[in-house]
Each structure stands twice: as structure tokens, then as C-alpha cells.
Amino acid sequence: MNVDKPKVADWIEKADHDLGSAKLIYLHIPEYFDMIAFHCQQATEKYLKAILLYKEIEFDRTHNLIFLLELLSQKIEITEEYFDKAILLNGFSVQIRYPDHKIFMTKDELESAINISQDFRKFAIKTIGIIE
């Protein structure tokens, strides 16, 4: 196995920045639904890409969480629960950042998006074997 561990760590760090941004925005400007949801999706995408790199699975530039999970499922078992969670975040990629694609989310939905991203972080950390 010839894993580029510094590159994997870089992906985790960038994902953590997205997740941290989502949490900060939620705490201070919770009405910015789109940015919270976007950062949750982005964090999850980067956690999955870190795992793909670690597992030495090539991937194209994509924001599609389902596609990334399907690639990952070639080497490790992915539960239906992770696919379901990814489906919830998948719609929050690039499109919602533009003014013609407005969303509204309840407090529970925002907290769920953050929790899902945190779950994917735990999954990545466990899969990669990072000790915190």
C-alpha cells in the first residue's frame, strides 16, 4: 500500500474546515440555511474523498456523494444508512449557492445536516485509522 498520508490528512483538514464553518454559521447566523447546508455537503464530500485516497480508489471531480459512496463500496462495505444520509446532503452542493436556488430549512433539518457530516467524519477517521 503506497498511500499518500499527508494528502489524505489534507482532505480531512479541509473537510474539518467546512464542518467547522457550518457549525459557526449555524451558531451565529442560523438563517443562512444555504451556506450551512452547503458546508455540510462539502465536508462530507471531502471526508469521502479522503477515504477514497486512503483506499487508493481513483475518483473524478464530482460533488455527487452517492457516486463517491458507490466507488468506495468497491473496497469496503457501505451500509444503506450511509447512502440514505448522503441522499439528504446530496442536493446541497453547488446549485444552492446561486440566487435562483433558494432553500428553507428548519432548526431540526440544519442540526440533522450537521450531525450527518459529523457521522461521516467519524466514519472517515475510523476507516483511515486516525487516532484523536
Residues 80-108 have pLDDT tens digits of: 999 999 999 998 887 777 788 788 889 99
- Average per-residue pLDDT for the chain: 93
5-125 falls under which CATH superfamily? Nucleotidyltransferases  domain 2 (1.20.120.330)
For residue 4, the model assigns a pLDDT of 87
Residues 27-70 have pLDDT tens digits of: 999 999 999 999 999 999 999 999 999 999 999 889 999 999 99
% of residues, the chain, pLDDT over 70: 98
* Domain parsing of the chain, residue ranges: 5-125
Distance CA 113, CA 97 (A): 16
Q: Looking at the whole model, is its pTM more than 0.75?
A: yes
Contact 55, 73 (CB under 8 A): no
